[in-house]
Chain A
Amino acid sequence: MGISAKDVEYLAHLARIQLSPEELQRFSGQLDEILAYVEKLKKAKTEGAPPTSHVLPLTNVFREDKLQPSLSNEAALANAPSREGPYFKVPQIIDPTS
């Protein structure tokens, strides 16, 4: 089937996870099996069944436009690995707007 180690490497890059060459091999095999299963599901007769995006028989769950208390700045930053004043501090990333 279709999933190569190269595909897994690309997906790993998108997900920002580092995989060893052995893992790339192992996961491409596992993903293949999952896709094969999906292929099998595709054969099920689904005429007359509308596509669904959710397993709960619920629609239109709203909240009203009301303010709720936010966290204090201290609480919001409590678990931050790094901070400066009221900000989260992160390593420099390539800025798409500069």
Chain B
Amino acid sequence: MEYRPVIGLEVHLQLKTASKIFCGCSTLFGASPNSQVCPVCLGLPGVLPVLNRQVFLYGVRVALGLQCKIQPTIVFHRKNYFYPDLPKGYQISQYDLPLGTGGHVVVPGTAAAPGTDFKVRIHRVHMEEDAGKLVHRPEEGYSLVDLNRAGVPLLEIVSEPDLESPEQAHEYLKTLKGILEYLEVSDCDMEKGSLRCDANISLSPASADRTAPPTGTKVEIKNLNSFKAVARSLAYEIKRQGRALDAGEKLMQETRLWDDVQGMTQGMRSKEFAHDYRYFPEPDLVPFAVPSEEIDRVGKGLPELPRQRAQRFVDQYKLPTADAVALTSSRSTADYYEACIRLLPKGKEASPCKAVANWLLGDLAREMNERNVDGIEGLKFPPGHLVELVDLIDSGKISGKMAKEVLTEALQSGQSPAAVVQAKGLSQVTDRESIRAAARKVLEEQPQAAADYKQGKGQSLMFLVGQLMRKTKGAANPGLAQEVLRELLENR
């Protein structure tokens, strides 16, 4: 049977406040175990949590950035369960009166369908505290607990089940991460765990009405450590669930763990994690109702977000939409791009604007990938260097092909492109006489091609240009090489 996947994502975002959500302990990552704890975050008797104002403001910022409505009354609840990383026996979270509801994110298409925007609704955004960290010693039969992370502020961002494929889920996460980076409320670093994701997925018959509530059995997937893992685990579940349904099996509503090495999900024995959290209002925290002026103030302070910025790039720099979207999806790349543009000589920006974009999205993106660096800063190739490189090509000092070599060398040595050109004596031969000498030699060596050209085979000219470039080791200016060759052939 044909099925349509129904996918929703839950993202946990660690906010970059100095202190924890309900106490004054530091949130710094990587401190020695149990050195950033106090009676409040240890859950000792008789203490009172007090909400960190910055957590609330960051939360409002994110909720507004995701087009949510801020709720008039915001209440914290206790989510009760037992686990050694949770010292109080409950997590302070939010239940039926979360910070924000009813938002959406517009995702600019997938690789398979670029440019076809789709909208993902945001069900809710709420604040909660993180749990501690466990270090397991399975051979010895015990576990070690570090509570430094207990009480670190999190935002949970829950999407509606509007996603229909692993690719859409991946692109949604990319877009969401882009927005969150622009909002400057978190490192958004998946490796450090400051951005985490759980997925839920069910299958509906492909023919089912999209507007009706989905009827399939929902499976939750946890332990997803990268966007790639999210997409892979969903693809795996779509196959697994489809096969089971085709065989007439009944699916279980359960939580499954993704195993990235084996590339499969595995069911958790469900009794070990009862999903009965007995939520009740947190009596230690008063309700929150924020005056609309304060919310407006946060709203006015929101930065330009990726979608608006992409539109501005199209208008201002005359870039194709696809380039503008790609450049603005990461704030650091977009900032880098605009830093380059500011360095361009005034009055002649039009063509370099596109050239800078091409380098950023082409060779530099590839270098970032190959070197596995996160963000353009990781390349140690400042905007001034890229502008210099584009200018070297633009002024005819080096060819596009040479520029690629110059880039590689500049990245390796940390030198500026101009310095590389100077040091390696690379520069394009634009001297007509020396090109003519080389061209004469080529024509002597390739009498057949020369004769073909005379008989009207235009394409043999390109062959001869290729030979000439080879002879000059790529140093000849290709336009000039073609011109000189044609001249010599015509005058034969």
Give A contacts to B, CB under 8 Å.
13-14, 16, 52-54, 56, 58-73, 76-77, 84-98
Do A63 and B24 have beta carbons less than 8 Å apart? yes
Question: Which B residues have a C-beta under 8 Å from some C-beta of A?
Answer: 17-19, 23-26, 32-39, 42, 50-56, 75, 80, 82-84, 97, 134-138, 141-147, 222-223, 255, 257, 268-269, 272-274, 276, 278, 281, 283, 285-290
Is the CB–CB distance between A90 and B290 below 8 Å? no
Nearest CB on B from A51, distance (A) = 9
8 A-B residue contacts at CB 8 Å? Answer: A63-B50, A67-B25, A68-B25, A71-B39, A88-B34, A90-B142, A95-B136, A98-B136
In whole Å, how far is A92's beta carbon from the nearest beta carbon of chain B? 5
Specify which chain B residues have a CB less than 8 angstroms from the CB of A77 in the assembled complex: 34
Tell me if A's interface is mostly helix, strand, loop or mixed.
Answer: loop
Interface of chain B: mostly helix, strand, loop or mixed: loop
Asked whether A87 and B84 contact (CB < 8 A) given A62-B51, A62-B52, the answer is no
Q: Is B136 in contact with A87, judged by CB distance below 8 angstroms?
A: no
| In contact, B50 and A62 (Cβ under 8 angstroms) | yes
A94-B136 contact given A66-B24, A86-B33, CB 8 Å threshold? no
With most chain A CB atoms within 10 A of its CB, the pick from B23, B143, B281, B283 is B143
Instruction: List residues of chain A with CB within 8 A of the CB of B97.
Output: 53
Tell me the bound Cα distance from A67 to B32 in angstroms.
Answer: 17
Inter-subunit contact B268/A14 (CB<8 Å):
no
B143 near A97: Cβ-Cβ < 8 Å: no
Cβ–Cβ < 8 Å partners of A90 in chain B: 84, 142-145
For residue B154, give the distance in angstroms from its CB to the closest CB of chain A.
Answer: 15
Rounded to whole Å, the gap between the CB of A31 and the closest CB of chain B is: 14
Q: A65, A72, A89 — which one has the most chain B CB atoms within 10 A of its CB?
A: A65
- The docked-state distance in angstroms from the alpha carbon of A85 to that of B18 is 27
Contact call B53/A97, Cβ cutoff below 8 A? no
Cα(A65)–Cα(B276), bound, Å: 33
Contact indicator B257/A97 (Cβ below 8 Å):
yes
Contact B138 A92 (CB under 8 A): yes
Minimum CB–CB distance from B302 to chain A (whole Å) comes to 20
Q: How far is the CA of A93 from the CA of B134 in the complex (A)?
A: 10
Which of B35, B83, B144, B255 lies in contact with A88, CB distance below 8 A? B144
Contact with B288, one of A13, A59, A92 (Cβ below 8 angstroms): A59
Q: Which of A62, A68, A88, A89 contacts B19 (CB 8 A)?
A: A68
Name the residue of chain B whose CB is nearest to the CB of A62: B53
Q: Across the interface, do B142 and A89 meet the contact criterion of CB distance under 8 Å?
A: yes
- In the complex, the chain B residue whose C-beta lies closest to that of A91 is B142
4 closest Cβ pairs, A-B complex: A68-B24, A87-B144, A65-B54, A53-B281
B32 to A86, Cβ gap below 8 A?
yes
Question: A68–B26 Cα gap in the complex (Å)?
Answer: 8
Q: Is the CB of A87 within 8 A of B33?
A: yes
Asked if A60 meets B290 with Cβ closer than 8 Å, knowing A88-B145, A89-B144, A96-B257, the reply is yes
Residue of B nearest to A74 (CB): B34
